[in-house]
Chain A
Amino acid sequence: LAKTTQPISMDSYEGQEVNITCSHNNIATNDYITWYQQFPSQGPRFIIQGYKTKVTNEVASLFIPADRKSSTLSLPRVSLSDTAVYYCLVQPHGSSNTGKLIFGQGTTLQVKP
């Protein structure tokens, strides 16, 4: 599995756009990039997933450059309720792979008023 590196923590203010970058230099051809969010004392929650270029949903955008060695999760106009830990996961997509998710330490985002 590809190793991921992301900042341990980030601070932001309400209303700002937050970009969290994840490095995954040894990403494989069949790997997908997935982000999960975890609020304190809750289970992780899927945010977004992508393979290349840009993916957008109602919660976030995910930017993946052509070499796929990094990815950036973008949260538009954050609010206090976006304070959470954000995990970048690189997982293989294939019928022989199990559903085991490997979480790193994640990025703790603190949104201030």
Chain B
Amino acid sequence: EPEVTQTPSHQVTQMGQEVILRCVPISNHLYFYWYRQILGQKVEFLVSFYNNEISEKSEIFDDQFSVERPDGSNFTLKIRSTKLEDSAMYFCASSEGGRATETQYFGPGTRLLVL
């Protein structure tokens, strides 16, 4: 069964540093998402991406965040200047269609720790 993969699985960084989280969505999927989950809290939507453009972003997704699909397979989330409160699990997801009722397939996540 096709899977969404994410690298790295863990990332430790110093406050103020830039991090790039990488995802490889399922190959025939056209819609891509990032979510985050702070320890002990609920999964929160960050951004959706389609046709090389952001479709929707949440209030969390401020100017420190950016997404990119640099080639035909990777989908990245960049945090320019990390803050302590960015420490969380970051999940990438993909789906064939763009409706909320489409099944989204989530990756295993990247655990980001900002010191």
Contacts and interface: CB of A to CB of B under 8 A. Distances in A.
Contacts of B48: 98-100
Interface stretch (B11-19, B39-47, B69-77, B80-88): B39-47
20 contacts: A34-B101, A38-B43, A41-B111, A42-B106, A43-B4, A46-B103, A49-B103, A91-B101, A93-B101, A97-B100, A98-B48, A98-B56, A98-B98, A99-B33, A99-B98, A99-B100, A100-B58, A101-B43, A103-B42, A104-B42
Query: Which of B43, B48, B108 has the most chain A CB within a 10 Å cutoff?
Result: B43
Contacts of B111: 41
Nearest to A94: B99
A95 B103 CA distance: 15
Given A95-B99, A98-B56, A99-B33, A106 B42 contact: yes
B24 to A, nearest CB: 14
Interface of B: 4, 31, 33, 35, 42-45, 48, 55-56, 58, 89, 91, 93, 95, 97-109, 111
Q: List the 9 shortest-distance A-B pairs measured between CB atoms, nearest first.
A: A43-B106, A91-B100, A103-B43, A93-B101, A46-B103, A43-B91, A98-B56, A32-B101, A100-B45
Interface string A71-113: 0000000000000000100011111011111111110000000
Contacts of A99: 31, 33, 48, 55, 95, 97-100, 102, 104
Given A43-B106, A43-B108, A100-B45, A49 B56 contact: no
